[in-house]
C-alpha cells in the first residue's frame, strides 16, 4: 500500500519534482567559486565598479576596458553593494535572468503550441548542460539569452495584437540584450521575427511604422553606454588600448566586436572551422541533442517531400538555424556563443518528443544507452576521479537512479519514458557537478581564489601583496582589491612582510639567487575551465598540475 502511494505521488508530481531538482542545482551553483578566466574577470570588474563608482566608463585593474558591454557589470556591482562581494552576489542576477528566460520561453511557446509543449520546451531548456553551465560559470550569455527570448515573446504579441505595451517591453528587451553582449542582441531578434514574417508573407507587419518607435527606445537605452564609450575612448585618440592606438569605442561596440568577426575587421580570430558549433552543441545541448537533430532532420525531409514548410511558427527556425549558421561563419568562436539559440532549439526538441508514436520505440534503446552512460560516468567520477566524502550524496544519487529507471520502465507513454528518465538522469549528473565536483575542483586546483581568500583572511593591506610573473583575476575578487605586479629585481626593494605570488620557474630563480624570501604556502593550480582527461584521472593528475607559491619578503 505504501509503495503504491509513493508511485502514485511520483506520477502525479513528476513535473514538480524535476523542476525542483533543477532549481536545487541552480542553488548549489550560486555558491561555487567564480572560475578563471572570464567569470573571475567579470566579477573583479564588477567589484572594481562598485568601489570606484565609474558606471559609464569601465575599468579593469585601473586600466581602460574595451571588450564586453556594461550591463552584466552594472547588475553585479549593484548586487555587491547590497549583499557584499561574494559568489552569491555575483551570480544572483544571472539566476534571476535565467528564470526570466525560462518564463519567457514558456509564454512564447504557449502562443503557438499546447500547454504540454510549452512545459516540455521550458524544462528542456532549463536542463541543458549549457544552462547549468551558465548558472555556474556566469558570463554575459545568460543575460543575452533571457532578454532575447523575452523580446521575441513580447514583439510577436505586438504583431498579433498591436498593443503598445508589448512593443515597448519588446524593444526594452532588445536594448538590454545589446547592453548585455552587443549587436548580436538585435540580430537574433530580427532573424527570428523576420524569418517568421517573410515565410508567412506578412508584409504589412514587416513595414509597420511602429518599429521606428521601438528603435528609438533602443537608442535611448543604449545612450548611457554610448556616451561612456565616446568619452572614454573616442575623445582620447592618444590612448593605447589592447594594442590599438586611439581605438573608437563606438566603432568597436557597434561593428568590430560582432560583425568584424565575420568580415575580418576584428583582431579576434582563431582556427575554428565552420563546423565548430556542430561539435560543441553535441555536449552543450545534452541530454536533448538527439531529439533536436531528429526534429531538424524530420523537418528537412518533410520539406523535400512536400516542397513547403509546415509549422505554426517560423520564429524558432530563424532564431536557431539562421543564427547558428551565421555564428558558424565567425572567425572567432567559443562554445557559449550559441547558447542564445537554445530556447528555440528546445522548442524543436519538445515538438519532436511530443510527436512520437509507437513506431519509434527504438529510441528507448538509444536513450537507455545514454542514461546508462551518464550513470557510469557518475560512478567513475565519485570513485576514481574525485572520490565522494559525503555519504548523503550517494544516497541521493541512488534514489535518483531508481527514479530514472522507474520512469524509463513504468511511464504510460513513449514520450514520458524518454523525457523523464533523461531528465532525472541529467539532474543526478549535475547534482554531482554542482555539489561535489566543481566545489572540490576550484577548492583544490584554482590557486588564485585560494590565495585571494587567504590574503583577505589574514587582513593584509593591498600594498602588502604583489604578484610576480603570474596573476589570476580570482585573486582580485577574493581579496576584494587590486594589487600591483613587480619584476624580480624589485624584490630587494620591498618592505619586510610583503607577500609575493609567483610561479614555479620564478620561485626556483629566487632560490638560486638567494633573494630575501621565505615560502608561506605552495598551491596546486590548473585552468579549471579547460579540463582534460590526464588531469581528471587521479593517478596522472599531479603531473598535469602547475605549482604556484606565496612567498614573504624577509
Residues near 550 by Cβ (< 8 Å), separated by ≥ 6?
451, 454, 499, 500, 501, 519, 520, 521, 522, 523
Mean pLDDT confidence for 175-183: 95
- CA torsion, points 299, 302, 308, 314, in degrees to nearest 10? -20
Provide φ and ψ at 97, rounded to 5°.
Answer: -70, -30
Domain boundary among 376, 410, 445: 445
Q: Quickly list DSSP for 117-177.
A: HHHHHHHHHHTSHHHHHHTTS--SHHHHHHHHHHHHHHHHHHHHH--HHHHHHHHHHHHHH
pTM above 0.85, yes or no: yes
Domain-embedded: residue 2 = no
Taking alpha carbons only, the member of 87, 125, 124, 142 closest to residue 434 is: 87
Q: What is the pLDDT of residue 4?
A: 75
Q: 533 Cβ partners below 8 Å, 6+ apart?
A: none
In a domain, 26, yes or no: no
* pLDDT of amino acid 457: 83
pLDDT at residue 108 tops 70:
yes
User: Same domain for 399 and 469?
Assistant: no
Distance in Å from the first CA to the final CA of the chain = 73
> Is residue 8 assigned to a domain?
no
Is pLDDT above 70 for 269? no
What's the pLDDT tens digit per position in 48-107?
999 999 999 999 998 999 889 999 999 999 999 999 999 999 999 999 999 999 999 999
**Domain extent at residue 399:** 358-445
Q: What is the average pLDDT value for the chain, to the nearest integer?
A: 92
What is the rounded CA–CA span in Å between residue 346 and residue 364?
20
pLDDT at site 98: 97
Residue 44 maps to a domain? yes
Residue 264, pLDDT score:
56
Per-residue pLDDT at 286 exceeds 60? yes
- Determine the number of helices (DSSP H) and then strands (DSSP E) in the chain: 28, 9
Q: Are 112 and 227 part of one and the same domain?
A: yes
Percent of the chain with pLDDT over 70: 97
For the segment 439-489, what is each residue's pLDDT rounded down to a tens digit? Answer: 999 999 999 999 999 888 877 666 789 999 888 999 999 999 888 888 988
**pLDDT value for 57:** 94
pLDDT of residue 106: 98
Phi, psi of 522 (to 5 degrees): -100, 140
Does 210 lie in the same domain as 127?
A: yes
Write down which residue in 270, 295, 321 finishes a domain: 270
Other Cβ atoms within 10 Å of 242 Cβ, number? 12
**What's the confidence (pLDDT) of residue 455?**
87
Residues 437, 347: Cα–Cα separation, whole Å: 31
For residue 89 the three cell numbers come to: 552576489
Mean pLDDT computed over 182-199: 95
How wide is the angle at C-alpha 246 spanned by C-alphas 245 and 247, nearest 5°? 100
The pLDDT of residue 1 is: 53
Number of domains making up the chain: 3
Residue 329 lies in a domain: no
On the 0-12 / 13-18 / 19+ scale of CB atoms within 10 A, 486 is: middle
Pick from 245, 270, 295: which residue ends a domain? 270
Q: Quick check: 181 and 42 in contact, CB under 8 A? A: no
Amino acid at each position: 500500500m505504501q509503495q503504491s502511494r509513493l508511485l502514485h505521488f511520483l506520477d502525479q508530481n513528476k513535473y514538480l519534482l524535476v523542476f525542483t531538482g533543477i532549481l536545487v542545482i541552480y542553488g548549489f551553483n550560486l555558491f561555487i567559486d567564480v572560475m578563471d578566466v572570464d567569470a573571475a574577470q567579470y566579477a573583479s570588474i564588477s567589484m572594481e565598479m562598485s568601489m570606484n563608482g565609474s558606471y559609464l566608463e569601465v575599468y579593469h585593474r585601473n586600466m581602460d576596458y574595451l571588450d564586453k558591454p556594461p550591463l552584466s557589470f552594472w547588475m553585479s556591482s549593484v548586487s555587491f553593494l547590497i549583499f557584499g562581494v561574494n559568489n552569491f552576489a555575483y551570480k544572483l542576477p544571472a539566476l534571476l535572468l535565467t528564470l526570466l528566460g525560462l518564463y519567457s520561453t514558456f509564454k512564447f511557446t504557449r502562443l503557438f503550441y499546447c500547454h504540454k509543449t510549452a512545459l516540455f520546451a521550458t524544462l528542456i531548456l532549463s536542463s541543458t548542460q549549457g544552462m547549468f553551465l551558465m548558472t555556474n560559470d556566469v558570463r554575459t550569455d545568460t543575460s543575452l539569452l533571457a532578454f532575447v527570448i523575452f523580446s521575441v515573446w513580447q514583439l510577436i504579441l505586438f504583431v498579433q495584437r498591436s498593443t503598445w505595451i508589448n512593443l515597448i517591453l519588446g524593444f526594452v528587451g532588445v536594448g538590454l540584450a545589446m547592453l548585455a553582449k552587443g549587436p548580436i542582441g538585435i540580430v537574433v531578434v530580427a532573424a527570428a521575427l523576420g524569418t517568421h514574417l517573410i515565410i508567412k508573407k506578412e508584409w504589412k507587419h514587416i513595414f509597420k511604422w511602429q518599429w521606428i518607435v521601438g528603435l528609438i527606445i533602443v537608442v535611448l537605452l543604449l545612450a548611457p553606454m554610448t556616451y561612456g564609450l565616446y568619452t572614454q575612448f573616442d575623445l582620447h585618440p592618444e590612448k593605447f588600448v589592447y594594442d590599438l592606438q586611439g581605438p573608437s569605442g563606438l566603432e568597436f561596440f557597434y561593428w568590430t566586436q560582432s560583425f568584424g568577426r565575420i568580415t575580418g575587421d576584428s583582431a579576434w580570430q582563431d582556427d575554428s572551422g565552420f563546423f565548430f558549433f556542430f561539435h560543441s552543441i553535441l555536449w552543450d545541448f545534452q541530454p536533448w541533442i538527439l531529439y533536436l537533430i531528429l526534429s531538424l532532420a524530420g523537418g528537412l525531409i518533410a520539406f523535400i517531400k512536400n516542397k513547403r514548410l509546415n509549422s505554426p511558427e517560423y520564429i524558432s527556425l530563424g532564431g536557431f538555424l539562421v543564427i547558428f549558421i551565421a555564428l558558424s561563419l565567425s572567425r572567432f568562436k567559443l562554445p557559449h556563443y550559441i547558447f542564445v539559440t537554445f530556447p528555440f532549439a528546445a522548442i524543436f526538441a519538445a515538438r519532436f518528443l511530443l510527436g512520437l508514436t509507437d513506431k519509434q520505440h527504438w529510441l528507448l534503446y538509444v536513450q537507455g544507452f545514454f542514461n546508462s552512460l551518464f550513470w557510469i560516468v557518475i560512478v567513475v567520477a565519485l570513485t576514481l576521479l574525485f572520490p565522494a566524502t559525503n555519504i548523503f550524496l550517494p544516497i541521493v544519487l541512488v534514489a535518483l537512479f531508481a527514479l530514472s529507471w522507474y520512469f524509463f520502465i513504468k511511464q504510460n507513454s513513449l514520450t514520458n519514458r524518454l523525457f523523464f528518465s533523461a531528465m532525472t538522469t541529467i539532474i543526478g549528473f549535475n547534482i554531482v557537478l554542482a555539489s561535489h565536483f566543481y566545489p572540490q575542483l576550484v577548492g583544490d586546483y584554482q590557486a588564485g581564489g585560494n590565495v585571494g581568500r587567504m590574503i583577505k583572511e589574514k587582513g593584509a593591506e593591498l600594498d602588502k601583496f604583489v604578484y610576480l610573473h603570474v596573476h589570476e583575476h580570482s585573486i582580485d575578487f577574493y581579496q576584494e582589491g587590486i594589487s600591483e605586479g613587480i619584476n624580480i629585481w624589485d624584490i630587494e626593494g620591498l618592505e619586510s612582510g610583503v607577500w609575493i605570488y609567483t610561479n614555479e620557474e620564478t620561485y626556483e630563480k629566487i632560490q638560486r639567487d638567494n633573494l630575501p624570501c621565505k615560502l608561506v604556502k605552495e598551491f596546486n593550480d590548473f585552468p579549471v575551465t579547460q579540463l582534460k582527461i590526464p588531469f581528471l584521472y587521479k593517478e596522472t593528475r599531479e603531473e598535469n598540475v602547475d605549482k604556484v607559491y606565496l612567498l614573504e619578503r624577509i
